Every structure is written in structure tokens, then in C-alpha cells.
Copies of this chain bind each other. A is one copy, B any other.
Amino acid sequence: MPRTNRRTRRTLSIWAFALLLAGPSDADLPLEPVGRVATIKTPYSPHWVFVGDALGHRTALIDVEDGRMLGTLDSGFGIPQTLHPTRRSEIYVIETHYSRGSRGERSDVLTIYDKASLAPIAEVAIPPKRALSATPVAHVALSDDDRFAAIFNLTPASSLSIVDLEQRRFVSEIQMPGCSLVYPIGERRFAALCMNGSLLVIRLDDSGREVGKQRSQPFFDPETDPVTEKAARFGDRWLFPSFDGWIHPVDFSGPEPVFEERWSLTSERERADGWKIGGYQHLAVHEKSATLYALMHQGGIDSHKQPGSEVWFYDLTERERTRRVELVNPGFTYLGVPIEGGPTWGWLVDWIGDRVMHAIPDIGVDSIAVTLDDAPRLVTSGMFSGGIASFDALTGEFIGRVFSGNLTNAVIQTASPATPGPR
């Protein structure tokens, strides 16, 4: 049946219904229409964030200022992957579905949602082979002019699927043997990381077809100190952090990538104390203030997935740490529902939560992101904890906690339509 503004009274007549309705008198509440569906004000507030749910297969749009849920975008199997163009009032969700839930025929699609209605308005079929992993970043990318989406495939042969977002169609698949993931580096270029520690740069023409593919020299040693997939973009540069805390900046402004001198997130003393970068989304950049945020923990070898206990702030111009912020527990949930102590017990609940987060290495913050505006928020979440904590990203001051209603919080995306540039 169509979604209309019909009166429920008509609906009721479907039933042989014993209840009599009186017409409203002047003093009664007016009868209300049924069928109304809310829309969202655009442009979005810069303090609205998208939080992807790996178990719930959806992304929630949440206001970190007041905890309000604006709406949700469902996706299929895997950690939700969404793309947020700045030039169209659209959101792209890359989805994998099976005709029988976990079996049957596989369909991979890029669904185009309208930002105001959060309703799907178009769908582009893509080859049913996109890569799925527990790593929430660098699996999909948008060209800097929002024209093309690139989706990383792994079967285990490695390739990119290119979708033309203006024409809303799949245009090509580009093989990239030995290289994986995808990083946007301009209007017609994407980069990938290769197993030998090099970079692959892929160039497209205006129709989205490959016109060039170039492997760089290795710029790190994947055996001794690999960079993580969880890089952050700073203008024309991508900053790749290594397991041991070295930032490898790569400048993509010229025709060839320029590998700048690496610098360390940690002092020798801090390294000796076991301070490392860790978690699932562990680097973020606030472009306007040239600030880098790194999610840090103390851990041993192979602790690169361990959640963080602090976020360290860096001045990217000086390559200097400016602040260490001790994290608070983002707040637990049970089946998506916040576990709260209320006004009376809140202090205790809080105190226990933080104590626990710091005492036990495997509970804490897995993801950080920063909003793009002039009063930026540093947003943190834990995969299994459920809540989202926010901080003033300039001062490090803890602001508060909000809840997404998700079962898991696997990825945070910040998006500000007013701010073109890196995503």
C-alpha cells in the first residue's frame, strides 16, 4: 500500500471494531494524520556523527551534543562502509546481501541515500567480491570531486571496483595484484598499500577507466615495523602510523608520491614504557588547526589491536606532541541500551567504568574521530562498550557521553557538508 496521509479512522474500519469514536469537540485534542515520516534538516550539523554497527548491520546518525538519534542507514553483512560526498546531498552505503540471509545468492550494491529523507533513491550493482574485514577503514573511497567511488575487492585476488556517481553506474574493475585497500589522493587518483611496503598509485580518466598504475619504492619494512591500514589524511598528505609509533607522511600533491621523513609519536622513554598506537580507528586529523590525534596504549608486541587509554595530540606543523588526554569509559550498553546509574548512582557507575577501563587492557576505546568544524569534538567509542564519549578537540576537556542504540560501535565517521576536502 502506498504511504499516504490517510486517516486512521478509515484504517480502523478494516476491523469489526467495538469501540465507538466520537467526533472531536472544540476542547478535545485534534485528530492527527497518520503516515507522516520525519526528514532531517540539511546541511547536517558538524557535530553529527555516523556510527557503524558490525552486529546490527546499520549506521546510526547521532548528535554528539545531545545524544539525539537523527536516523539510521541499514547495510548488509560486515562492518558498515559509508561515503559522504560534499557536493551532493547524498550518502553512499556499500552493502553485501545474500538472498537467504547468510546463504544463497550474493548481491553487492552501492546504495544512494538522500541525506534529508535517509531513503534509498538509487542502487548501483557492483561485482559481488568486495573485501570484508574487521578493519573499518580504507575499504572504500571517494574521489576528491565526488565523481567516483572506489571499492576494494579481495577474493583473494585484489582489485578496485569503480562506480561513477554522476551516472550512477559501475564502470570498471582495476586489478592490483599484491596491493590492498584504497586511499583517495585527488580527483582521478587512488592509492593502495602493497605487501612489500610500497604504494600503488592508480590513475583514472574522466570516464573512470584506468589510465595508469605505478608502484613506488618500498617506504617501510612490513616485516619489522609495518604501517597500519588506519592512516589519516592531512591535505595532500596521508599519514601512515607504524606498529612502533612512527608516522610515515606521504605527499601526493605531485605526480609521484613523495615519502617525507618519518617522525615518532613517542619519545625513546615512552617507547621503552610500551606506549604504542592501537585500536581499530586510531588516527584522526583536524585540518584547520593542523592537529593530529593518536589513540595510545601501553602494551607489548602484537598489541596493535589493543584499545587505547589515552589520546595524544600533536601539532602537525611542528611534529610535536601538545597534549595527553586520559580517556574515560565511553559508557556501556546492553543490547544497545545504555547502562546508566541515574542521578544517584551515576558517580559510582562512572568511577567503576573508568577504573575497569584502565585496569583491564582489553576494554577501552577502539575508535577515535574528530569533527571538521572550528569547535571540533574528539569522538571516541569502544566496539563492545556501546557508548560514545566526546571531548573538546582543542583543549582535551571531556564533554560527555551519548548512545547510538547500536549493538556494537565499530566505526565513527564525521562529516560536514560545509567543508570540502579530505574525508
Per-position 1/0 for A38-68, Cβ under 8 A of B: 0000000000000000010100000000000
Chain A 144-175 near chain B by CB (<8 Å), digits 1 or 0: 00000000000010000000000000000000
Contact A384 B97 (CB under 8 A): no
A95 touches B99 (CB 8 A): no
Known: A14-B156, A156-B14, A407-B407. A335 touches B384 (CB 8 A): yes
The residue in chain B whose Cβ has the minimal distance to the Cβ of A76 is: B101
A223 shortest CB reach to chain B, Å: 8
User: In the complex, what residue of chain B is closest to A196 when comparing beta carbons?
Assistant: B16
Q: Which residues of B contact A384 (CB under 8 A)?
A: 334-335
Smallest CB-CB separation from A156: which chain B residue?
B14
Chain B residues lying within 8 Å of A97, measured Cβ to Cβ, are: 99-101, 104
Select from chain B the residue with minimum beta-carbon distance to A111.
B100
> In the bound complex, what is the Cα–Cα distance between A76 and B98 (angstroms)?
11
Instruction: Flag if B99 contacts A120 (CB, 8 Å).
Output: no
CB pair B57–A101 under 8 Å, yes or no, is: yes
A102: chain B residues within 8 A (beta carbon): 74
A75→B101 contact, CB < 8 A = yes
Interchain CA distance A14-B14 in the complex, whole Å = 63
Assess whether A109 is interfacial by the CB under 8 Å rule: yes
Q: Report Cα–Cα, A58/B120, bound state, in Å.
A: 28
Partner of A100, one of B109, B178, B335, B408: B109
A100–B97 Cα gap in the complex (Å)? 6
Among A101, A107, A384, find the residue whose CB has the most chain B CB atoms closer than 10 A. Answer: A101
Within 8 A of B (CB), among A348-406: 384
Interface membership of A3, Cβ < 8 A: no
A120 to B102, CA, bound (A): 12
Q: Which residues from B are CB-within-8-Å of A111?
A: 100
Given contacts A14-B156, A156-B14, A407-B335, contact A74 B95 (CB under 8 A): no
Taking a contact as CB atoms under 8 Å apart, the answer to whether A120 and B103 are in contact is yes
Q: Which residues of B contact A178 (CB under 8 A)?
A: 16
Cβ contacts under 8 Å, A75 to chain B: 101
| Given A335-B55, A335-B384, A335-B407, A99:B107 Cβ within 8 A | yes
A417 to B123, CA, bound (A): 47
Interface residues of A in 69-119 (CB under 8 A from B): 74-76, 95, 97, 99-104, 107, 109, 111
Query: Residues of A with Cβ closer than 8 Å to B?
Result: 14-16, 55, 57, 74-76, 95, 97, 99-104, 107, 109, 111, 120, 123, 156, 178, 334-335, 384, 407-408
Known interface pairs A55-B407, A95-B100, A97-B99; 12 further A-B residue pairs with C-beta atoms within 8 A, sorted by A's residue number: A14-B156, A15-B156, A16-B178, A55-B335, A57-B101, A74-B102, A75-B101, A95-B101, A99-B99, A99-B107, A100-B107, A335-B384
Jot down 22 A-B pairs with beta carbons below 8 A, ordered by A.
Answer: A14-B156, A15-B156, A16-B178, A55-B335, A55-B407, A57-B101, A74-B101, A74-B102, A74-B103, A95-B100, A95-B101, A97-B100, A97-B101, A99-B99, A100-B107, A100-B111, A100-B123, A103-B120, A334-B334, A334-B384, A335-B407, A407-B407
Q: Which 4 A-B pairs have the closest CB atoms?
A: A74-B102, A76-B101, A74-B101, A97-B101
